[in-house]
Structure 1
Amino acid sequence: MNLESPEVTIDKSSQDVFDFLSDIKNFEKLMPDNISKFEILSDDKFLFALKGMPEIILKKKEVIPPNKIVLGAAGGKIDFSLVGHINETVDGKSNVKLQFEGDFNPMMAMMIKGPISKFIETLVTKMPASV
């Protein structure tokens, strides 16, 4: 399953956006309002839970400054990744899009497609005000 968020424009350079997303504690500012738990586990790993959903641990897996950050599932039964694509525009602003990639059986994919789409859309739409 491959889902993409809408692309947003942020009034910061790609390096500024990359630096913001590289600091995992900043993800708390991007979380949806229905977050029930957020905990930093290490410099590159955090745990979060949304109301009615199981806890998820994300770990920084790959960084390509200043254009790409990959967070992946750290443990758990589901393997997936969340990729942040950052592209600087000519006027010093940045376009950011999130991509969710996971390999799920059809039943699981059907159940989580809506909530995951809404989740990544919330993360990206909160970025312009947070970075």
Structure 2
Amino acid sequence: MNLESPKVTLDKTSEEAFNFLSQVENFESLMPENISKFEVLENDKFVFALKGMPEIVLKKKEELPHSKIVLGAAGGKLDFSLTSHILEISENQSEVQLSFQGEFNAMMAMMIKGPISKFIETLATNMKTAI
């Protein structure tokens, strides 16, 4: 299953956006209002939970300076990744799009597609004010 957030234009350089997103503690400011837990476990790993959902642990898996950051599931039964794609538009503007990739059976995919789409859209939207 592959899902993408809308593209968000930021009045920040791609380097500023990358630096913000590469620090996992900053994801707390991007989370939806219905977050019930957020905790940094290591400098590249955090756990979060939304009300009514199980806890999810994300770990930084890959970085390509100023253009891409990949967070992946750290443990648990589900294998997925959340990738931040950062594109420099001009000297002081960049564009960020989040993509979610995961391998799920058809029933699971049907159940989580809506909530995950809304979740990554919220993360992207909140970047406008957080970064």
Query: TM-score scaled by structure 1?
Result: 0.99
Alignment-derived partner of residue 117 in structure 1: 117
- Report Cα offsets for 1:61-106 as digits up to 9, x if no partner: 0000000000000000000000000000124200100000000000
Match of 2:13 in 1: 13
Alignment of 1:35-50 (within 5 A): 35-50=35-50
Q: Distance in 2 between matches of 1:31 and 1:20?
A: 14
Cα deviation code 1:85-128 (max 9, x no counterpart): 00001242001000000000000000000000000000000001
Residue identity (%): 68
Residues 1:107 and 2:117 are matched in the alignment: no
- Is residue 98 from structure 1 mapped to residue 98 from structure 2 by the alignment? yes
Q: What is the rounded CA distance, in whole Å, between the counterparts of 1:97 and 1:90 in structure 2?
A: 16
CA distance in 2, matches of 1:46, 1:28: 9
Question: Structure 1 stretches (4+) deviating beyond 6 angstroms?
Answer: none
Match of 2:68 in 1: 68
Q: How far apart, in 2, do the equivalents of 1:128 and 1:88 lie?
A: 15
Question: Structure 1 stretches of 5 or more lacking a match?
Answer: none
For residues 92 and 64 of structure 2, the distance between their equivalents in structure 1, rounded to whole angstroms, comes to 19
Considering only aligned residues, what root-mean-square deviation do their CA atoms show, in Å? 0.5
Indicate the SS of the match to 1:89.
strand
Equivalence for 2:79: 79
Q: How many angstroms apart in 2 are the aligned matches of 1:44 and 1:29?
A: 16
TM-score for the superposition, normalised by structure 2: 0.99
